[in-house]
Structure 1
Amino acid sequence: MKAHYASLLLVPAVALAAVPARAQDALIAISGTVYEKSTKQPLPGVSVSVKGASVGTQSDMNGKFELKSRLRFPFTLVFNTVGYEARELEVASGSQPIAVQLESRAIAVNEVVVSASRVEESRLKSPVAIEKLDIRAIKETPAPSFYDALENVKGVQMTTSSITFKVPNTRGFNIPNNFRFMQLVDGVDMQAATLGVPLGNAIGPTELDIASVEITPGAASALYGMNAINGMANLTTKSPFTYQGLSVYQKVGVNHVDGKDRDPSVLTETAVRYAQAFNNKFAFKVNFSYLRGTDWLADTQTDQNPQNLNSANPRFSELSGANNPAADLWNRYGDDRSGNVPVAIQYGGRTETFNVRRTGYYEKDLISPTVRNLKFDGGLFYKLTEKLELSYGYRYGLMDGIFQRGNKIQLKDVTVQNHKLELRGADYYVRSYVLVENTGDSYNLNPLALNLDLNNGSNTVWGNKFRTELQNQVNRGTDLATAMQQARAVADAGRAEPGTEAFNQLKNTITGINNWDSGVNVPGAPATGGAALWQRSRTYHNEAQWNVGRRIKFADVVLGADARVYEVIPDGNNFVDFSKPLADRTTPGGNNVYYKKFGALRKAPSCYCKTA
């Protein structure tokens, strides 16, 4: 890998202003400008920090920087940016004028990673393959966001279920939801407990706050547990001590420009970050982002139950293609096996039994086209000593979108919250966090379509109507394909049609019922079968790690332990409290269900071991 180094030159262009040091640590204000030597242009994004302290800032778009903190002369400033070698400048007094020019030259770079061994180490010495995106790579990536850029990382394949829901896959496990791929944000596992997967970057950092992304394409379960057997993404955010100030971006785009499935729509994202440090002791940061757009539409009409299969009607060639009464189309729900209705009539001088499927509803009529993703996070950081930091962080994410599992799930008003408390020293840390999951008003498309059809009569009632009209049409000499179409029209009479107020009201009723069982619905009576996805959970996690190798020079040893508790609140559908009476088990609530996990790890030069 090639990068650059910089040479540092001082020219009398910008003065260094300082408040005179009357006390041991005086409030000193430093300002200056960083230039690129060959072009004489201002150099933005250069990190300016005080050596040996957690005080720093960045140069702005005009190359200017300003740093205020309580310091003692002399102190050393460090100028550093990706692609340039870090250089140091000693500041002896407040009267020294300063301007900085950085000269680029090609040298080899040895990146630092933390994912491979849970401790900071050279990427070249990593025991496993690690792919890394740093700040520069993230800024230069030709992708809508840094998360989309993961698709360009070697060994990573991205599955896009929705604009707001993207799933990284590694090791060939290309499934709609990679249950064994771990995603960490500042050490916090982002997996939603009941859904079983990280919800993309719905609660993760914004592009303004991301510092680096490390991808482990291979198994990382030895150090991170079984959830990392397919790989891991480790996202690290910016420190408010180093990256201070206000940052804002606004992205606007247009999708569906061809107008085929949806009208051209605006896709917009707004993000804000603000960070501030005080006296090299206390710092805070806040981030906010909001994305809104029109989602993609799945509208493929391929028949999964063609006429040549025994589950259709292979003996009748005229019932093929668009005339197949047993068709099970992609992206149409309610026409699968549970909607199959055998119909027996007198045809051709004998009794013939035809397989017929309920009409069902297309995905475009069942989902909400508008998607949102709102994210907020904030953190408080306090340095107890120069090398010991206590921090608290909070994250909140709200999202809509499509989630693919056995069936497609319409995610609506899903929220995930995270509280984290961490004590970190030079060679150890202790971390505790809580994840709170709520699937909001989400619903399952398949039981929704089934129960919409059942509201127009059970399969038996609907099948009797179909049978009667089919027999009448055949007796009149109507060809079989046309007779099937006429019989379906009669059987579907009174069915809730998409786009009508009756359809919308019935859909809202069914998506508000937390029971996926097919209801024994009576035409005109309230629906009894539902499609709601009500899942609530909390995850409690505690872990500690000690890098013994920093104390014992002759051995590279890391010790760690963790404890995790999943608390699942019964919803009466996916999770049931069996202590309740049978008649009440389908109602939400009851005794919460707890799953517990305890583990320890030891990393030594000869092994990586995790026990649970």
Structure 2
Amino acid sequence: MNQKLYLLFIFVSLKSFSQVENSKAKQDSIKKEELNEIVITASRRSENFMHSPISIEQLKSAEAKKMGSPSIYEALENVKGVQIITPSLGFKVINTRGFANSTNVRFAQLVDGIDNQAPHLGAPIANALGANDLDIDKIEIIPGTAAALYGMNAINGLANIQTKNPFEYEGVSIQQLTGVNHVGNIDRFSPKIYSQFNLRFAKAFNQKFAFKINASTTGGTDWVADDRTDLAPNANISTNLSGADNPAYDEVNGYGNESANRKTLNLNGKNYVVARTGYRETDITDYDIKNYKADVGFYFRPKTGNELAVTYKTALINTIYQRSNRFRLDDYTLNQVAVDYHTPIFQVKAYATTENTGNSYNLRSLAENMDRAYKSDDKWFADYTTAYKNAITNGAAIADAHKIARTTSDQGRFEPGTEAYENKENELININNWDIGAALRVKSTLVHGEGLINWDKAFASFFEKIETKLLSGLDYRNYIIVPDGNYFINPVSASKNLTYQKTGAFTQVTKDFLGSKLRLGATIRMDKADYFEAKFTPQFTAVYSPKESLNFRASYQNGYRFPSIFEGFSNVNSGGVKRVGGLRIMSDGIFENSYTKASIDKFQAQVNSDVNTLGLTQAQAIEKNKNTIQKNPYTYLEPEFVKSFEIGFRGMALNKNLFIDADFYYNSYKNFIAQVEASIPNTTDPNLFPTSLYSRTTQSRYRLWTNSKSKIYNYGGSLGLKYRFDNTFSALTNVTYTKLDRTDDKDGLEDGFNTPEFNVNGTLIAENIWKNFGASATARYQNNFDYVSFLVSGTVPAYWSMDAQINYNFQKSGIKAKLGGTNILNKPYTSILGGPAIGGLYYLSLTWETSKI
């Protein structure tokens, strides 16, 4: 759908608003839903939603059930300012305000204030350890930095999933959702069944004791990633070999033919870049999704306002996961135990999350080492050279000779689907060394403790007199990684676990002026992490409310993000390239003695071109172009830093049945944590450096975590409207604009902005149309955008899609039926490059709930 149709949609909606302004049926008005709503995430204390000092979005479970999305987590795609990317049917990633990626360590995700990240990643694996649909009350989202209050990993935003307390929400709930996807021959699969089962049981024995149990299972067939675009289209352009004739052909979702698997061969006086054949993802991975999660909680209220909660969560994940490579997560487990005690005056909380990657494996490493398992690189390229020369001698054309050489060299290759392939695959995915295997074997633990104190509650009379509120908090976190010898090592002691600790504290003061019409706030936070000096993060806010239904806000804040475990400490050998954490303790000496891969690639291409077009010898071409090689200008990691300024408005209009929420922000970033590839020549003679760097076999290659030297600026805004026509019809619509402004000192190492400029969606909801029937339809559009990652860079095409549902409430039985679909027109789209094509999902959901036990 083009943008004109969306503008028409908004225009028609607004026109309808004015036509029904004086309707007498508006008894269930937006006023009740918005003016009295309480949120806790924006300020870490309960406050009126309308008076929030920073932008905060929320999606209530009741509202999400009226949408076409099968779950509330997926319905977040309809929330103002939220971008959802989909690396897998079982793995969706939330982001706000730009710089998105499939790991997204800049956006934090909490459940009841408890971080549910996978420790070694520093980011959540979607909603794997989150609550199931039946237990979610609502989700609050801060779009933009929340670092002053939440510290690490929240400079892009934060989501807090709030669950239902068993004291307030007793009963039994059972939900079975059965659907079908892969409809209409959109990929290699025929239609497949998708199933999700959710259970919730909650019981309050009396006013002091309660407990709840939740369980969820999800099964189906994942979306397929099969992009065959050539990532090296110009590798042999000087020999007029391109397209299907390109011997360096490297398709996006083909692995084992990347730069590490290519070699320059001199064949009959010409230099050709040749890649090994590799394997397509569709041939070597398991697309089955089998995810399970459960949690149990015990709750004790010794007196009114005081509550102790002890919870345990577990998750078992089997799905596809995307980072700089694509991974198959098999028997990946997360476990979390938490203790939370809060009173009106203070709160203390402690939790531990353990992670075990189980039998997971790297698809690229599997493909690379499957090729090497039947024939080494040296042997394969030698066979290729011989076969090519023989083909030319026998009169074959150049392009045909390359194809003959490949077919000859591939003889004996393990073919997917054969018993020999299956046996070798089982062997490789259990070898924890990516130079010869593919296993991902990480065991890690996150331990966190924090405390909050409301000074204005502890000394109520004093703070009431000065109309001031004061909140302080302290937190401690420790990441503990078991060295596995491949992904992580302990550079200090191989016999001890690797640890990475961080401590933070903040104080927030707010004061009312002008008869509580003006509220000013200030927060100062300090964070200290291992290997870094203490960093201070301020936040200043102002809310002006001339009327209950008119609220203007402004804020300025800074934010830091400290490197995650894998950015700071990774130690991975993969295909002859070693990925090394950017802390000095991991990469000492590499930065100072290496040369950038970008300049080496340019140097090698110029040498090949001069050999092929000017008739120079290889030695002459190396001498001619040696000054192209550039020393690595980067150095050891520092925290990322953002400055953010925001203004906004939240209010009511049209007899308080139209809710309006608008915001505008401007951000500046520096020290973006990114990766640079560099090599050290395997010689001590400076005169031989160029010759050594021409061949990948005579250099040590690294991928290093470092900071971009660029300063990056972006801005944007969003507008959200909610309107209730009457007791039956309501409409939601929003538009989000996100723009990369400029980049100063551009060094090519900036993290990808990876965000559409325009994102528009609108939903029309009808409740109780006739005899307990309801329905809704959602239209969604985003424009094309540039996507940059280590897996692939290019343009994500624009797309539009529609979700819809109809529902019926069987009041006597307590069963609610919902028949719906996402992307109901089944027009496949991709949300990120390298990811899957997403088609339609059609489902029937049956939910039975009772408060009687």
- Return the TM-score normalized by structure 1: 0.77
| Other-structure match for 1:328 | 250
SS in 2 for 1:400: strand
Contact 1:135 1:211 in 2 (8 A): yes
Question: What is the alpha-carbon distance in structure 1 between the residues aligned to residue 400 and residue 336 of structure 2?
Answer: 58
| Other-structure match for 2:488 | 575
- CA deviations 1:303-359 (Å, max 9, x no partner) are 1111xx2xx222332x2211111111110001011111222232xxxx222211000
- Residue among 103, 123, 127 paired with 1:197: 123
SS in 1 for 2:384: helix
| Other-structure match for 2:474 | 561
In structure 2, the CA distance between the partners of 1:104 and 1:305, relative to structure 1 (3 Å rule), is closer
1:107 Cα shift?
A: 3.8
| Other-structure match for 1:434 | 352
| Other-structure match for 1:34 | none
| Other-structure match for 1:269 | 196
- Residue among 278, 291, 310 paired with 2:205: 278
- Residue among 400, 403, 413 paired with 1:495: 413
SS in 1 for 2:72: coil
| Other-structure match for 2:137 | 211
- Given residue 482 of structure 1, which amino acid in structure 2 is its aligned partner? D
1:106 Cα shift?
A: 6.3
| Other-structure match for 2:507 | 602
SS in 2 for 1:567: strand
- Residue among 208, 227, 231 paired with 1:304: 231
Question: What is the alpha-carbon distance in structure 2 between the residues aligned to residue 226 and residue 376 of structure 1?
Answer: 27
Contact 1:341 1:459 in 2 (8 A): no
Contact 2:61 2:72 in 1 (8 A): no
Question: What is the alpha-carbon distance in structure 1 between the residues aligned to residue 30 and residue 124 of structure 2?
Answer: 39
| Other-structure match for 1:4 | none
Question: What is the alpha-carbon distance in structure 2 between the residues aligned to residue 314 and residue 322 of structure 1?
Answer: 12
- Given residue 216 of structure 2, which amino acid in structure 1 is its aligned partner? S
- CA deviations 1:108-139 (Å, max 9, x no partner) are 53221101110000111111001011232122
Question: What is the alpha-carbon distance in structure 2 between the residues aligned to residue 144 and residue 195 of structure 1?
Answer: 27
- Residue among 324, 338, 349 paired with 1:406: 324
Q: Which has the higher helix share?
A: 2
Matching of residue 539 in structure 1 with residue 446 in structure 2:
yes
- Residue among 112, 128, 131 paired with 1:186: 112
Matching of residue 227 in structure 1 with residue 153 in structure 2:
yes
SS in 2 for 1:208: helix
1:281-292 equivalences in 2 (<5 Å): 281-292=208-219
- CA deviations 1:366-388 (Å, max 9, x no partner) are 21110111010010011111221
| Other-structure match for 2:770 | none
Matching of residue 454 in structure 1 with residue 372 in structure 2:
yes
In structure 2, the CA distance between the partners of 1:144 and 1:602, relative to structure 1 (3 Å rule), is same
1:153-168 equivalences in 2 (<5 Å): 153-168=79-94
Matching of residue 611 in structure 1 with residue 537 in structure 2:
no
Question: What is the alpha-carbon distance in structure 1 between the residues aligned to residue 54 and residue 225 of structure 2?
Answer: 38
Q: Structure 2 regions of 5+ residues with no counterpart? A: 1-23, 511-520, 528-853
**Bigger mean CA offset, 383-392 vs 432-441:** 383-392
- CA deviations 1:194-248 (Å, max 9, x no partner) are 1221010011111100011001001100000031111000111001011111100
- Residue among 485, 497, 507 paired with 2:403: 485
1:191 Cα shift?
A: 1.1
- Given residue 299 of structure 1, which amino acid in structure 2 is its aligned partner? D
Matching of residue 314 in structure 1 with residue 237 in structure 2:
yes
- CA deviations 1:231-275 (Å, max 9, x no partner) are 000111001011111100100110000233212100000011101
SS in 2 for 1:455: helix
1:585-596 equivalences in 2 (<5 Å): 590-596=495-501
- Residue among 372, 375, 379 paired with 2:290: 372
Question: What is the alpha-carbon distance in structure 1 between the residues aligned to residue 29 and residue 448 of structure 2?
Answer: 46
- Given residue 48 of structure 2, which amino acid in structure 1 is its aligned partner? S
Question: What is the alpha-carbon distance in structure 1 between the residues aligned to residue 374 and residue 508 of structure 2?
Answer: 63
1:464 Cα shift?
A: 1.1
1:124-139 equivalences in 2 (<5 Å): 124-139=50-65
Question: What is the alpha-carbon distance in structure 2 between the residues aligned to residue 182 and residue 446 of structure 1?
Answer: 28
1:549 Cα shift?
A: 2.1
SS in 1 for 2:525: strand
In structure 2, the CA distance between the partners of 1:106 and 1:393, relative to structure 1 (3 Å rule), is closer
SS in 2 for 1:410: strand
In structure 2, the CA distance between the partners of 1:579 and 1:125, relative to structure 1 (3 Å rule), is closer
Question: What is the alpha-carbon distance in structure 1 between the residues aligned to residue 115 and residue 203 of structure 2?
Answer: 27
Contact 1:456 1:492 in 2 (8 A): no
- CA deviations 1:76-134 (Å, max 9, x no partner) are xxxxxxx9xxxxxxxxxxxxxxxxxxx74664532211011100001111110010112
Residue correspondences, number: 485
1:24-35 equivalences in 2 (<5 Å): none
SS in 2 for 1:276: strand
SS in 1 for 2:64: helix
Larger gyration radius, structure 1 or structure 2: 1
SS in 2 for 1:227: coil
Matching of residue 359 in structure 1 with residue 277 in structure 2:
yes
Q: Which has the higher contact order (CA 8 A, sep 6+)?
A: 2
Contact 1:328 1:335 in 2 (8 A): yes
1:435 Cα shift?
A: 0.4
Q: Percent identity?
A: 41
Question: What is the alpha-carbon distance in structure 2 between the residues aligned to residue 530 and residue 470 of structure 1?
Answer: 30
- CA deviations 1:142-199 (Å, max 9, x no partner) are 2011001111111110011111111101111222221010101011101111122101
1:413 Cα shift?
A: 1.1
SS in 1 for 2:237: coil
Contact 2:122 2:153 in 1 (8 A): no
SS in 2 for 1:384: coil
| Other-structure match for 1:73 | none
- Return the TM-score normalized by structure 2: 0.56
SS in 1 for 2:122: coil
- CA deviations 1:547-595 (Å, max 9, x no partner) are 1223232321101111111111111112113456xxxx7xxxx310111
SS in 2 for 1:415: strand
Question: What is the alpha-carbon distance in structure 2 between the residues aligned to residue 410 and residue 342 of structure 1?
Answer: 31
Q: Structure 1 regions of 5+ residues with no counterpart? A: 1-37, 40-82, 84-102, 518-528
Question: What is the alpha-carbon distance in structure 2 between the residues aligned to residue 105 and residue 534 of structure 1?
Answer: 54
- Given residue 279 of structure 1, which amino acid in structure 2 is its aligned partner? N
Question: What is the alpha-carbon distance in structure 2 between the residues aligned to residue 373 and residue 389 of structure 1?
Answer: 32
- Given residue 314 of structure 1, which amino acid in structure 2 is its aligned partner? I
Contact 1:270 1:289 in 2 (8 A): yes
Question: What is the alpha-carbon distance in structure 2 between the residues aligned to residue 560 and residue 471 of structure 1?
Answer: 72
Question: What is the alpha-carbon distance in structure 2 between the residues aligned to residue 534 and residue 148 of structure 1?
Answer: 30
Contact 1:439 1:535 in 2 (8 A): yes
Question: What is the alpha-carbon distance in structure 1 between the residues aligned to residue 490 and residue 507 of structure 2?
Answer: 38
| Other-structure match for 1:523 | none
Question: What is the alpha-carbon distance in structure 2 between the residues aligned to residue 336 and residue 480 of structure 1?
Answer: 23
Question: What is the alpha-carbon distance in structure 1 between the residues aligned to residue 29 and residue 143 of structure 2?
Answer: 32
Contact 2:226 2:281 in 1 (8 A): yes
1:481 Cα shift?
A: 1.4
Question: What is the alpha-carbon distance in structure 2 between the residues aligned to residue 609 and residue 315 of structure 1?
Answer: 59
SS in 2 for 1:595: strand
In structure 2, the CA distance between the partners of 1:245 and 1:481, relative to structure 1 (3 Å rule), is same
Contact 1:470 1:484 in 2 (8 A): yes
- Given residue 165 of structure 2, which amino acid in structure 1 is its aligned partner? S
